[in-house]
Amino acid sequence: MSRLGQLRKKVHYDPDTPRCSRCVHYKPGKILLQDSLPREAPPLCAHHWFTVKPVGLCDDWRSKKDGTTLEV
């Protein structure tokens, strides 16, 4: 195992942590045209209908991969 791999193991690095961008309800932001001018629409939670940050997290998180949820 490489030195970097050993360090990751030592500090319990997890590359697949729950966060909004990995939730089934996450809708990424996009660029829209309004009156021929670009307008940025922020990321959105389609379950609760509010803007989110991709690295955020809530109790209703659900995995895109297998549908697992957080245990609260």
Per run of 10 residues, the mean pLDDT along the chain (length 72 residues) is 94 92 96 94 96 95 92 75
Count structural domains, the chain. 1
Q: Which domain holds residue 59?
A: 16-72
> Has residue 52 been placed in a domain?
yes
pLDDT computed for residue 72 by the predictor: 67
DSSP-derived 3-state class of residue 45: strand
The residues that bridge with 45 in the sheet, in sequence order, are 26, 50
> Has residue 32 been placed in a domain?
yes
Q: What phi and psi, each to the nearest 5 degrees, are found at residue 49? A: 60, 55
- Report which of 28, 10, 32, 11 is spatially closest to residue 19, judged by C-alpha positions: 28
Residue linked to tokens 């966060």: 19
